[in-house]
Structure 1
Amino acid sequence: MSEIRVEPYRVRRIGAHSHIRGLGLDENGKAIMVADGLVGQAEARQAAGIVVKMIKEGRISGRGILLVGPPGTGKTALAVAIARELGEDTPFVIMSGSEIYSSEKRKTEILMEAVRKALGVRLTERRLVYEGVVKNIVIRRAKHPLVPYLTVPREAKITLATRDEEVTLTVPEEVTQQIVELGVRKGDVIWIDAQTGRVHREGRVREFQDVKTYDVETRRIVETPSGPVKKEKEIVNVLTLHDLDMYVAAQRSLVSIFGFTLEREIPSEARKQVDETVRKWIEDKKAAIVPGVLFIDDAHMLDIEAFSFLTRAMESEFAPILILATNRGVARIRGTDMESPHGMPLDLLDRLLIIPTRPYNADEIREIIKIRAQEEEVELDSKALEKLVEIGSKYSLRYAVQLMEPARILAEQRGESKIHVEDVEEARKLFIDISTSVEYLREYEKLFLK
């Protein structure tokens, strides 16, 4: 493993929707109260399930989806769940409507890049990998060379086991960083590419000794691999059309004296070349198109030019599944003087299947907080949980979830491993909610600059 090389990694962060595995529907397409990381929103999830079926049957051409509802009602979670239902290798691109406004690129170029990022090309190859259940893992850390009070992972000793063999590997910093980023722990099934060092987590096993599992499990349950740990494995890689666009554009563009490709808009000729190549791969059965999901939050921030582009993009040969979300009612269409439902042109709304979401009740908030506590690996006692439910019901679910991490740190400062109700109450005093913030502004209004 001494020759393993990988690309630099990004520091791991627990995402707000990292626990979602699907829509949580039964065999009849009805929503289960708590399943696949989702809670409540039964009608919206059932509607999303119908959308997934339409996508899989190739019957959504020319249409898009619009999620409408108040803030914090799970619109983004629903979009993530749709992407999960379509498959693990389904490209999922998330952006805000305000991201199209840039001084460096045209709005249509930014949208075109997003559309191309949401279209995958599935290629299959055989690779030599180390695969097994993580039986033990020890990570050695060292001080950061530039920031002495920080530590960074340097190497890891990891034991992988199959039904037939057990191997202990010492992996270098690049692989260790990926292990940390992915949150790999005992009981996870992973494979490590022996040539590139790429790490992939396949899921989690239930039957493995000393592994903690949950009734509401947020990681895919898989079987323990059999055979040797080191083996040849068929690996499916999914590249996006944008990845291919960038590669072709880099071959065409000028290179600076420092060796970096000059950043600019991708020429249409490069995209045409990629499209022709992909069509040939498909005809030769070397590849397949994977329609991904382009999710645009705060879609009311788009302007009339962007809406026109998206209307045309939905009808193109290579088109992703377009999901828009908004929390606006009747609003002005940006770039015009006209008002319309959700601040969108009527001709675009006519092409969208609209799915409403509704505020969560107390029972649903309780289950969501339990799931987030599990995902963020914090322990709540029963009174702390009920306090967070009360806060979520009175103020907002997001505020209740945001209080968990400060409360955990306060509990640790008291020498406790579990969050108690006093930790939650102290966190509330330190980090106020929106309504308290408004009261604060009114109280000290004269002292603020205008």
Structure 2
Amino acid sequence: MSIKIEEVKTQFERFAAHSHIKGLGVRDGKVEFIGDGFVGQVEAREAAYIVVKMIKEGKFAGKGVLIVGPPGTGKTALALGIARELGSETPFVALSGGEIYSLEVKKSEFLMRALRRAIGIKVREWRKVYEGEVRSIELRYGKHPYNPYLQRVMGATIKLRTRDEEKVLRIPAEIAQQIIELGVEEGDIIMIDEETGAVSVLGRGEGGEQYDVAIKRRAELPKGPVYKEKEIVRFFTLHDIDVSLARQRGLISAMIFGFAEEVKEIPDEVRRQSDEIVKKTVEEGKAELVPGVLFIDDAHLLDIESFSFLMRAMETEFAPIIIMATNRGIAKIRGTDVEAPHGIPQDMLDRLVIIKTRPYTAEEIREIITIKAKEQNISLSKDALELLTKIGVEHSLRYALQLLTPAYIIAKERGKASVTKDEVEYVKSHFISVKESVEYVKSLEEKFLR
């Protein structure tokens, strides 16, 4: 019995604000003021680029990165930029230091899973596939066994063509259902794995109708026969392999004892087995290891045990690049009464390359507000932009950006084509900054609950 491993892509919705980051903005070895989604922070990006070169040359083993700076100065963006510079396929796993205190698993298990999700493996294998542009699809329906008023897909006939051949295939219900779920249309280029029956949409072919809003990318019409042997590249993480092997053990237990115990923590022997499989596959030239980036924000929230675990993890054979960030100065190391720079033990700090970010200048804030307004299709008048820039300097960039959308809504209600100074002042009077909030609390300190 074979167990099919499927790629599980982790979603990080809270980092969507940095989806525009494509790299560190380096052109011809020089960091540009504006580039790859970045504005400013040139010194920090230059330092990050040096780290990238060290990693690519294999001279960063046993080390990590610590990014320090005030809130809202692009620490997360910088970590993501490093990952993007290492390659588009580099895994990037982000978490906050406070997330390790889970009630479900131990801290060490939580961190181990995060570390192994940040290490990818590209497996190359030759598979027999059917590949080509869809010329026609004819679905066959039959009666549903449990509901006489419904029909179910019984199979389909599909015509595929390449530059050199055209074939008509009769496919079973399982593959036909995938074609429906993937929204395959005439003109799409697809690939069907003969062994697993998995369907992949490679793009829109030359003969397919094109739309103004393109959901599927263009793909070149394949050459050669429709049925062929092709090298397929699959991407997994070490955690995916760990989970698959743990489930296999669970199935064996179920067959022997009649029940399967829920796996909350993956045993060490399973991970050792995973490592052996990966090593063997890499040594045979069938796979390639892709070390990624584990980004831990609010690193000061980690405790002394977690730091010890991460120090040991840095020196292991399979270790991702660990990047931490914090906005704290001198703080207590969690779990102790010892104060240290950034709340991080000295022995951990000795292993970290420290990069500093600084508060944005007025010029940088103005440029960032302009870019964000364009992304949201918000037209700003000159006086509105200057006022928002001033707010960003006196309060914070995040606060200035938060005022963009409400000001735009008010401008629309007033029938204006662009946001003016009046709308910015109006929303600023309704939504206060952190600085103003603190001043307000202090002025009414006696009336607030303690």
TM-score range, shorter chain: 0.7 to 0.9
Could you tell me how far 1:412 is from its partner in structure 2? 3.4
Return closer, same or farther for 1:237/1:376 CA change in 2, 3 Å cut-off.
Answer: farther
Structure 1 equivalent of residue 26 of structure 2: 25
Give the match's secondary structure for 2:271. Answer: helix
Q: Distance in 2 between matches of 1:444 and 1:68?
A: 34
Counterpart of 1:150 in structure 2 is none
Q: For the aligned residues, what is the CA RMSD?
A: 3.7
CA distance in 1, matches of 2:10, 2:315: 36
1:116–1:241 CA contact under 8 A, matched in 2: yes
Instruction: Show the counterpart of 1:113.
Output: 113
**Paired amino acid for 1:306:** S
Deviation at 1:380, TM superposition (A): 2.9
Aligned to 2:48: 48
Query: Which residue does 2:355 correspond to in 1?
Result: 355
CA distance in 1, matches of 2:386, 2:322: 38
- Kept in 2, the 8 Å contact 1:83–1:292? The answer is yes
Partner SS, residue 17 of structure 2: coil
Distance apart, 1:375 and its partner CA? 3.4
Report if aligned partners of 1:98, 1:302 keep a CA contact under 8 Å in 2.
yes
Aligned length: 374
Gaps of 5+ in 2: 1-6, 134-177, 205-209
Superposition deviation, residue 274 in structure 1: 1.0
Give 1:376-395 correspondences, 5 Å limit: 376-395=376-395
Match of 1:241 among 238, 242, 256: 238
Give the CA deviation at 1:401: 1.6
Residue aligning to 2:59: 59
After superposition, what is the alpha-carbon deviation per residue over 1:284-303, rounded to whole angstroms, capped at 9, x for unaligned?
Answer: 11111101000111111111
What is residue 345 of structure 1 aligned with on the other side?
345
* Contact 1:123–1:237, Cα closer than 8 Å, also in 2: yes
In structure 2, the partner of 1:214 is none
Q: CA deviation at 1:426?
A: 2.6
1:101 lines up with 2:101 in the alignment: yes
Contact 1:118 1:240 in 2 (8 A): yes
CA, structure 1 residues 444+94, in 2 after alignment: closer, same or farther (shift >3 Å)?
same
What is the TM-score of this pair, normalised by structure 1? Answer: 0.73
* Counterpart contact for 1:66–1:325, Cα < 8 Å: yes
Change (3 A) 1:281 1:10: closer
- Aligned partner of 1:218 in structure 2 is none
Relative to structure 1, the CA distance from residue 434 to residue 109 in structure 2 (aligned partners, 3 Å threshold; closer, same or farther) is same
Q: Is the 8 A contact 1:330 1:342 kept in 2?
A: yes
* Structure 1 residues 434 and 250, CA gap change in structure 2 (3 angstroms): same
Kindly indicate whether the alpha-carbon contact (under 8 Å) linking 2:203 and 2:218 is maintained by their aligned counterparts in 1.
no
| 8 Å Cα contact 1:250/1:261 also seen in 2 | no
C-alpha separation in 1, matches of 2:10 and 2:94:
20
Kindly state the Cα deviation for residue 420 of structure 1 after the two structures are TM-superposed.
3.1
Aligned to 2:374: 374
Confirm or deny: 8 A CA contact 1:44 1:355 kept in the other structure: yes
Q: Equivalents in 2 of 1:34, 1:77: separation in Å? A: 14
Partner secondary structure for residue 272 of structure 2: helix
Q: Which amino acid aligns with 1:248?
A: L
Shift of 1:269: 1.8
**Match of residue 289 from structure 1:** 289
- How many angstroms does 1:428 deviate by? 1.9
Alignment partners' CA distance in 1, 2:68 and 2:340: 14
Q: Distance in 2 between matches of 1:285 and 1:101?
A: 40
**Code of the aligned partner of 1:27:** D
* 1:249 to partner: Cα distance: 1.4
Name the CA shift for 1:11/1:246 in 2 (closer, same or farther; >3 Å): closer
Q: Aligned letter for 1:80?
A: L
* Superposed CA offset, 1:218-244 (max 9, x none): xxxxx9755479x99976432111111
Q: 8 Å contact 2:93–2:293 — kept in the other structure?
A: yes
Rounded to whole Å, the distance in 1 between the matches of 2:394 and 2:52 is 34
Partner of 1:73: 73
Question: Structure 2 matches for 1:163-178, cutoff 5 A?
Answer: 175=182
* Structure 1 residues without counterparts, runs of 5 or longer: 1-5, 132-170, 177-189, 203-207, 212-222
Distance 1:64 1:10, change over 3 A: closer
**Identity value in percent:** 54
Alignment of structure 1 residues 81-230 onto 2, 5 Å: 81-124=81-124, 175=182, 226-227=220-221
Q: TM-score, normalised by structure 2?
A: 0.73
Flag the 1:426–1:62 CA change in 2: closer, same or farther, 3 A.
same
- Residues 103-134 of structure 1: per-residue CA shift (max 9 Å, x gap): 22111111101100110011246777899xxx
Please state how far the C-alpha of 1:367 moved relative to its aligned partner: 1.7
Cα shift at 1:366 = 1.6
In structure 2, distance between residues paired with 1:416 and 1:234: 57
Distance 2:282 2:382 in 1: 55
Structure-2 residue corresponding to 1:302? 302
Bigger radius of gyration, 1 or 2? 2
Q: Which amino acid aligns with 1:20?
A: I
Cα distance, 1:429 vs structure 2: 2.5
1:180 maps to what in 2? none
Structure 1 equivalent of residue 331 of structure 2: 331
- Corresponding position: 1:399 with 2:399: yes
For 2:323 and 2:12, how far apart are their aligned partners in 1? Answer: 28
- Of 121-130 and 38-47, deviating more is 121-130
Worse overlay, 81-90 or 438-447 = 438-447
Listed one character per residue, the Cα deviations across residues 260-306 of structure 1 (whole Å, up to 9, x for unaligned) are 98351111122111111111110111111101000111111111101
